[in-house]
Amino acid sequence: MSNPLSFVNPTPDSPWQTYLSQVDRVLPYLGHLARWADTLKRPKRALIVDVPIELDNGTVAHYEGYRVQHNLSRGPGKGGVRYHPDVTLEEVMALSAWMSIKNAAVNLPYGGAKGGIRVDPKQLSQKELEKLTRRYTSEIGLIIGPQQDIPAPDVNTNAQIMAWMMDTYSMNTGATATGVVTGKPIHLGGSLGRVKATGRGVFVTGREAARKLGLDLQGARVAVQGFGNVGSAAAELFGQAGAKIVAVQDHSGCLINTRGFDLSELVPWVRQHGGVGGFPGGEPLTAEEFWDVDCEIMIPAALEGQITADRANRLKARLVLEGANGPTLPAADDILAERGILVVPDVICNAGGVTVSYFEWVQDFSSFFWTEDEINLRLDKIMQGALRRIWDTADQHGVTLRTATFAVACERILMAREERGLYP
Ligand SMILES: NC(=O)C1=CN([C@@H]2O[C@H](COP(=O)(O)OP(=O)(O)OC[C@H]3O[C@@H](n4cnc5c(N)ncnc54)[C@H](O)[C@@H]3O)[C@@H](O)[C@H]2O)C=CC1
Ligand SMILES: O=C(O)CCC(=O)C(=O)O
């Protein structure tokens, strides 16, 4: 995937093109605000940085880093940082735009932002990873801050990386600034419940959608792609609700177990071995066969563009819960709708993570911390309320949940844009 030369010139089938086509679908429902819609089709600000580090062997390596602030009309930028060898500016643009939509859909007082480094972190030692993170944080320090733009974990980043980011930003500004990132370790201003919050949100929205479909979670068969932070937490909650996890796929392998995996063995295995590959409690499956598995619920929780038109035609599930950002291509979305397969879209389904990030940010400012039960109850309430509003909008316009989420969110963003006005 190459970077676009302009915001309006997307690479075919890229996440940015997917996002732009999702915006086009919502235009008829924006009323007089549609005149502001081009605001949504270009990021406000995109920063590319060179991140040089000295490797353990003494050579100097250069990595490309990005931070994109898509829209700041409703508040500071908010969104994670991804470390992956395939990250591009264009991908980060899309991820930042989905953050704008997501944050507005759950009515958090944030705009949308996202960052990334084009690197395979698995090739780096812990020391090199720390140097990379600190240099990247210094470089994007120009535009991040507790009131400007607040990063968080995403693919291949975690609480330790957030701690290094917080420390680097604090050293550079001369005061401890816990509110500059979320997803931190608990004793450094992190919030209880954040690690599993995205998976919990997937479960809460999935539970509500299943109820609407009349689908009993007891005994329901679930397939999960991506068994990292989001996929594993969602799988555990579905398991606790009586569902069976019958297929799992990640970068290391793909497995099936029609009786349901024993998660008390699979989760520690993944923690120890870095992936599901080689787990003895299931039979191997090819990566492509995963999409043909008999199941009621499919949870894509890895990367973008996974549900293609071909896979959408083959999918057996009744319900797709988008734990990942951008897992479904627009053509596949149409096929799923035609086939009556309900999709709970990323921009609401995986919003649990940023919602608890918001709780963390609020707790950091007040230096007063809530219990995990309080966090989970508030998360449940916000996610249910947001989904209800989206469902009403879908029913009102006769559109998919994705277009309804965009309608609710874009109205909020563009209303703020209009009220703020254009000129300094
Ligand atoms: N961490 C968070 O709080 C949030 C994450 N997300 C999204 O959820 C998705 C997963 O993120 P995390 O779980 O945080 O990342 P992670 O780094 O913890 O896990 C990523 C998972 O994807 C798998 N994966 C990578 N490449 C793959 C491939 N080619 N085929 C199959 N599986 C592959 C990895 O093996 C791993 O299991 C991403 O789309 C991310 O943007 C969305 C909202 C919040
Ligand atoms: O917790 C956050 O601030 C953002 C998480 C994120 O990157 C996402 O929702 O995709």
8: confidence class by pLDDT, cuts 50, 70, 90: confident
pLDDT above 60 (res 1) = no
Question: Ligand 2 test: best mutation among 67, 154, 346, most atoms within 8 Å of CB?
Answer: 154
Share the mean pLDDT of the chain: 97
The reply, when asked if residue 102 is annotated as ligand binding, is yes
- Per residue in 139-173, pLDDT (tens digit) is 999 999 999 999 999 999 999 999 999 999 999 99
Q: If you take atom 2 of ligand 2, which residue's CA is the nearest one? A: 354
Evaluate: CB of 351 within 6 angstroms of ligand 1.
no
Name the closest-CA residue to atom 44, ligand 1: 353
In this structure, the number of other CB atoms found within 10 A of the CB of residue 168 comes to: 20
Residue found by looking up tokens 């001369």 in the block? 174
Per-residue pLDDT, averaged over 330-339, amounts to: 98
> Residue 110: its pLDDT value, please?
98
pLDDT at 284 over 60: yes
Q: Which pLDDT value is given to residue 7?
A: 85
CA 374 to chain centre: 23
Confidence class for position 3, pLDDT limits 50, 70, 90 = low
Q: CB within 6 Å of ligand 2 — which residues?
A: 78-80, 102, 152, 154, 182-183, 325, 350, 353-354, 357
pLDDT at 4: 53
Span 371-395, average pLDDT: 98
What integer is the mean pLDDT of 283-308?
98
pLDDT tens-place string over residues 49-99: 999 999 999 999 999 999 999 999 999 999 999 999 999 999 999 999 999
By most ligand atoms within 8 Å of CB, the mutation choice from 303, 321, 383 for ligand 1 is 303
Rounded to two decimals, what is the model's pTM?
Answer: 0.97
Identify the CATH class of 15-180.
Answer: alpha beta
At residue 221, what are phi and psi to the nearest 5 degrees? Answer: -95, 130
Q: ipTM > 0.85? A: yes
- In CATH terms, the superfamily for domain 195-344 is NAD(P)-binding Rossmann-like Domain (3.40.50.720)
Do residues 223 and 247 make contact, with C-beta atoms less than 8 angstroms apart? Answer: yes
Q: Are 193 and 199 in contact (CB under 8 A)?
A: no
Q: Is the dihedral of CA 92, 287, 333, 5 positive or negative?
A: positive
Write out pLDDT tens, residues 88-133: 999 999 999 999 999 999 999 999 999 999 999 999 999 999 999 9
What share of residues in the chain are helix, strand, coil (percent, to 5)?
50, 15, 35
Name the residue of 230, 298, 306 whose CB sits within 8 Å of the most ligand 1 atoms, as the mutation to test its pocket.
Answer: 230
Q: Do 195-344 and 15-180 fall under one CATH topology? A: yes
Confidence of residue 19 (pLDDT cuts 50, 70, 90): very high
For 64, phi and psi rounded to 5 degrees?
Answer: -95, 130
Residues noted as catalytic = 114
The answer to whether 83 and 156 are in contact (CB under 8 A) is yes
Assess whether pLDDT exceeds 70 at residue 2: no
Q: From the alpha carbon of 351, which atom of ligand 2 is closest? A: 9
Distance between CA atoms of 306 and 325, rounded to whole angstroms?
10
pLDDT-derived band at 5, boundaries 50, 70, 90: low
| Span 183-224, pLDDT tens digits | 999 999 999 999 999 999 999 999 999 999 999 999 999 999
- Is the beta carbon of 182 within 6 A of some atom in ligand 1? no
The pair of three-digit structure tokens given for residue 222, joined into one six-digit string: 């679930």
Kindly identify the ligand whose nearest atom is closest to the C-alpha of 159.
1
Place of tokens 């090739």: 123
Task: Report whether pLDDT(9) > 90.
Answer: no
Average pLDDT of span 35-53 = 96
For ligand 1, atom 8, the nearest C-alpha belongs to 324
Which residues partner with 48 through β-bridges? 66
Shortest-distance Cα residue to atom 9 of ligand 2: 354
Residue 335 structure tokens: 């096929």
Q: How far, in whole angstroms, is CA 98 from its chain's centroid?
A: 8
The mean pLDDT of 30-55, rounded to a whole number, is: 96
Give me the residue spans of the domains in the chain. Answer: 15-180, 195-344
Percent of the chain with pLDDT over 90: 97
Looking at residue 342, what is its pLDDT? 98
Indicate if the pLDDT at residue 283 is higher than 60: yes
